[in-house]
């Protein structure tokens, strides 16, 4: 029994879920997860953190994704949002945000906001762990989350935010 | 508690608060309809995101993503002198005698794995840089060559990759493995479409034996070889055929003086 590989295995469903949300493409997402796992296995002796592997894996996955995006931009490839298949959408219920609209809105977010938002909402990670994965201070994470949500509000056409007094 | 910040409302909606803080926020929401509406909206956004994307985490994991299997494959690759045949093809393509292959490395030298990892890592760090990609630019290539040669204790010419469409951006000195002189030089080249390749050179390893290896690591292709004078790793993310052409050109230029009686290469 190899506890390191077991720890990796336990993280695979979450890595797939997160990669799928980032890329909106099943094959690309699984390629990304495979690269991430191979990198983790080949570096296990050298760079492996002492604690749980989850944060380390997510950081690697994000770096691989950013590199792939940079490379595809250099090659001049672009993704046409209209070619991205919509996930199957249950009929919206009153008071709920239309899911197709939400999916499209998330695609339009700047990458750094999308990365942060999905770590916290989809993966349910504590702010501290999400900030550690992204290598940013927690205050920076909070402001990215705030900006992401304000953008989603606008993009999904939900009513303007009520005026709130902010306390420093 | 009479005032709650927006960050606290968000942390509440994200379930990040301690029980005490949660109680305080809940009391505040009862008395503040605006804040309650704000929190409800955040929660609806969270629910929508989970509804959209959570199902992917419940699917059966394909076999190719099983860590046990990936680990076995990586072990198998490392256990063989893999990449050897491919390296031989490239090197023979350069017209080198087969006698040169008299001492193949049947046990991959762990030092080579470390050097390749260092080279790929240095590549990833510096190709992403725009203004600080190199320490010394190519406009001062004579100084660059002299300086790096002195630091590595060997003659290091700047390979000319014009024929492959690459021009020299410049180079830098990096800390390296103690076994290989403790220093490394990185040369960076760029083509017209801003694709970059780097060449990572160190002094020879203690055994000075010839060795060659291809490796794919972190999405980059690396071609490594060592001889009695230097170790050199060419790193890039180009298509394989192009990587081989570049690696072959670098190899023949940097070893010209070492493996034949032709005059040494002058960079």
For B18-35, the pLDDT digits (tens) are 999 999 999 999 999 999
Q: Are residues A97 and A150 in the same domain?
A: yes
Q: Which residues of A touch B52 (CB under 8 A)?
A: 21, 87, 99, 102-103, 106
Looking at per-residue pLDDT, the higher value among A122 and B164 belongs to: A122
Given this model, what pLDDT does residue A162 score?
Answer: 46
Q: Are residues A8 and A67 in the same domain?
A: yes
Tell me the per-residue pLDDT of A120-155, one tens digit each, with 9 for 90 and over. 999 999 999 999 999 999 999 999 999 999 999 988
Question: Is residue A150, in this structure, part of any structural domain at all?
Answer: yes
CA-angle at B154, arms to B153 and B156, nearest 5°: 125
Shortest distance between the Cα of B35 and any Cα of chain A, in A, equals: 7
Task: Report whether pLDDT(B266) > 50.
Answer: no
Given this model, what pLDDT does residue A139 score?
Answer: 95
What SS3 state is found at A37?
helix
- Average pLDDT across chain B, whole number: 81
| pLDDT band of B255, cuts 50, 70, 90 | confident
CA-angle at B224, arms to B222 and B229, nearest 5°: 150
Question: Is residue A10, in this structure, part of any structural domain at all?
Answer: yes
> Which of B236, B255, B256 minimizes the C-alpha distance to B246?
B236
Q: Which residues of A touch B53 (CB under 8 A)?
A: 17, 20-21, 87, 118, 122
Query: Average pLDDT of B161-177?
Result: 90
DSSP 8-state secondary structure symbol assigned to residue A164 = -
Task: Report whether pLDDT(B153) > 90.
Answer: no
Q: Please give the distance of CA B48 from its chain centroid, rounded to a whole number.
A: 37
Under 8 Å between Cβ of B208 and B225: no
Cross-chain Cβ contact B49/A102 below 8 Å: yes
Given this model, what pLDDT does residue A164 score?
Answer: 47
Given this model, what pLDDT does residue B2 score?
Answer: 54
What is the distance between the alpha carbons of residues B205 and B109, in angstroms, rounded to a whole number?
10
Q: Residue B52 is encoded by which pair of tokens?
A: 């959209």
Strands B167-175 and B183-190: antiparallel
Q: Are residues A20 and A65 in the same domain?
A: yes
Q: Which residues of B touch A102 (CB under 8 A)?
A: 45, 48-49, 52
Question: Is residue A30, in this structure, part of any structural domain at all?
Answer: yes
Q: Are residues A68 and A116 in the same domain?
A: no
Query: Average pLDDT of B89-94?
Result: 52
Starting at the earlier edge strand, list the strands of the sheet with B211-217: B136-137, B167-175, B183-190, B196-203, B230-236, B220-226, B211-217
Interface test with A, best of B52, B177, B236, B238 (most A CBs within 10 A): B52
Given this model, what pLDDT does residue A108 score?
Answer: 93
Among residues A76, A102, A121, the one where a domain terminates is: A76
b/e map B17-47, b = 16+ CB within 10 Å: beeeeeebbeebbeebeebbebbebbebbbe
What is the distance between the alpha carbons of residues B241 and B227, in angstroms, rounded to a whole number?
24
Q: Are residues A53 and A108 in the same domain?
A: no
Cross-chain Cβ contact B58/A102 below 8 Å: no
Question: Is residue A98, in this structure, part of any structural domain at all?
Answer: yes
Q: Which residues of B touch A41 (CB under 8 A)?
A: 67, 70-71, 74
Using alpha carbons, list the distances in angstroms from residue B210 to B86, B214, B255: 16, 14, 11
What is the distance between the alpha carbons of residues A150 and A122, in angstroms, rounded to a whole number?
17
| pLDDT band of B38, cuts 50, 70, 90 | very high
Task: Report whether pLDDT(B168) > 60.
Answer: yes
Domains: count for chain A = 2
Question: Is residue A167, in this structure, part of any structural domain at all?
Answer: no
Question: Is residue A25, in this structure, part of any structural domain at all?
Answer: yes
Query: Average pLDDT of B124-134?
Result: 85
Q: Residue A158 is encoded by which pair of tokens?
A: 């939900």
Cross-chain Cβ contact A8/B67 below 8 Å: yes
Chain B CB within 8 Å of residue A125 CB: no
Query: Average pLDDT of B218-247?
Result: 86
Tell me the per-residue pLDDT of B209-228, one tens digit each, with 9 for 90 and over. 888 887 887 778 888 888 88
Strands B183-190 and B196-203: antiparallel
Show Cβ contacts of residue B97 under 8 Å, excluding neighbours closer than 6 positions: none
Looking at per-residue pLDDT, the higher value among B192 and B103 belongs to: B192
Question: Is residue A40, in this structure, part of any structural domain at all?
Answer: yes
Residues spanned by the domain of A57: 1-76
Q: What CATH number is associated with residue A20?
A: 1.10.1740
Q: Are residues A12 and A45 in the same domain?
A: yes
Q: Are residues A2 and A31 in the same domain?
A: yes
What is the distance between the alpha carbons of residues A106 and B49, in angstroms, rounded to a whole number?
9
Task: Report whether pLDDT(B11) > 70.
Answer: yes
Cross-chain Cβ contact B124/A67 below 8 Å: yes
Counting every residue written for chain A, the total comes to: 168
Q: Are residues A62 and A2 in the same domain?
A: yes
What is the distance between the alpha carbons of residues A161 and B156, in angstroms, rounded to a whole number?
63
Given this model, what pLDDT does residue B26 score?
Answer: 95
Taking a contact as any Cβ pair under 8 Å apart, which residues of chain A between 56 and 95 contact chain B? 64, 67-68, 70-71, 74, 87, 90, 95
Q: Which residues of B touch A33 (CB under 8 A)?
A: 65
Low-confidence stretches of chain A (pLDDT < 70) are 1-2, 45-50, 76-97, 158-168
Given this model, what pLDDT does residue A96 score?
Answer: 56
Shortest distance between the Cα of B248 and any Cα of chain A, in A, equals: 24
Among residues A48, A76, A104, the one where a domain terminates is: A76
Question: Is residue A50, in this structure, part of any structural domain at all?
Answer: yes
Q: Are residues A71 and A108 in the same domain?
A: no
Chain B CB within 8 Å of residue A104 CB: no
Q: What CATH number is associated with residue A149?
A: 1.10.10.10
Among residues A46, A76, A106, the one where a domain terminates is: A76
* Reported pTM: 0.55
The DSSP annotation for chain B comes to -----HHHHHHHHTT-S-HHHHHHHHHHHHH-HHHHHHHHHHHHHHHHHHHHHGGGGGSPPPGGG-HHHHHHHHHHHHHTTTTHHHHHHHHHHTT--GGGGSS--SS--HHHHHHHHHHHHHHHHHHT-STTS-SEEGGGHHHHHHHHHHHHTS-------GGGT-EEEEEEEEE--GGGTTEEEEEEEE-TT--EEEEEEEEPPTT---EEEEEEETTEEEEEEE-SSEEEEEEE-S-HHHHHHHHHHHHHHHHHHHHSSSPPP--
User: How large a percentage of chain B has pLDDT more than 70?
Assistant: 82
Q: Are residues A54 and A101 in the same domain?
A: no
Cross-chain Cβ contact A41/B70 below 8 Å: yes
Chain B CB within 8 Å of residue A9 CB: yes
């Amino acid at each position: 029994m190899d506890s390191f590989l077991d720890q990796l295995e336990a993280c695979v469903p979450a890595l797939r879920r997160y990669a799928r949300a980032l890329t909106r493409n099943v094959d690309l997402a699984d390629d990304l997860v495979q690269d991430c796992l191979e990198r983790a296995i080949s570096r296990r002796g050298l760079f492996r953190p002492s604690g749980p592997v989850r944060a380390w894996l997510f950081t690697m996955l994000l770096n691989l994704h950013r590199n792939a995006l940079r490379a595809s931009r250099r090659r001049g490839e672009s993704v046409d949002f209209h070619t991205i298949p919509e996930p199957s959408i249950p009929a919206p219920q009153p008071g709920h945000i239309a899911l197709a609209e939400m999916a499209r809105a998330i695609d339009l977010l700047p990458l750094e906001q999308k990365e942060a938002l999905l770590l916290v909402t989809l993966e349910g990670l504590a702010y501290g762990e999400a900030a550690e994965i992204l290598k940013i201070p927690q205050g920076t994470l909070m402001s990215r989350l705030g900006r992401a949500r304000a953008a989603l509000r606008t993009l999904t056409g939900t009513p303007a935010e009520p005026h709130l007094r902010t306390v420093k | 508690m009479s005032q709650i910040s927006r960050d606290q409302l968000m942390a509440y909606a994200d379930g990040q608060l301690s029980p005490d803080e949660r109680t305080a926020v809940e009391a505040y929401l009862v008395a503040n309809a605006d804040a309650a509406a704000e929190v409800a909206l955040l929660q609806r956004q969270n629910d929508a995101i989970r509804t959209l994307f959570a199902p992917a985490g419940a699917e059966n994991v394909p076999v190719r993503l099983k860590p046990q299997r990936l680990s076995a494959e990586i072990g198998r690759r490392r256990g063989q002198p893999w990449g050897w045949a491919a390296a031989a093809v490239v090197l023979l393509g350069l017209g080198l005698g087969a006698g040169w292959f008299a001492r193949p490395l049947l046990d991959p030298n762990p030092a080579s794995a470390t050097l390749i990892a260092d080279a790929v890592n240095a590549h990833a760090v510096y190709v992403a840089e725009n203004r600080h990609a190199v320490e010394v630019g190519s406009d001062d290539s004579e100084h660059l060559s002299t300086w790096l040669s002195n630091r590595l204790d060997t003659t290091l010419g700047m390979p000319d990759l014009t024929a492959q469409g690459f021009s020299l951006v410049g180079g830098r000195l990096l800390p390296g493995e103690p076994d290989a002189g403790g220093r490394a030089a990185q040369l960076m080249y760029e083509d017209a479409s801003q694709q970059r390749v780097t060449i990572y050179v160190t002094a020879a390893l203690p055994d000075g034996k010839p060795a060659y290896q291809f490796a794919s690591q972190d999405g980059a292709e690396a071609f490594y070889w060592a001889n009695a004078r230097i170790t050199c790793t060419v790193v890039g993310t180009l298509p394989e055929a192009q990587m081989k052409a570049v690696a072959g050109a670098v190899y023949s230029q940097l070893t010209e003086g070492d493996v034949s009686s032709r005059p040494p290469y002058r960079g």
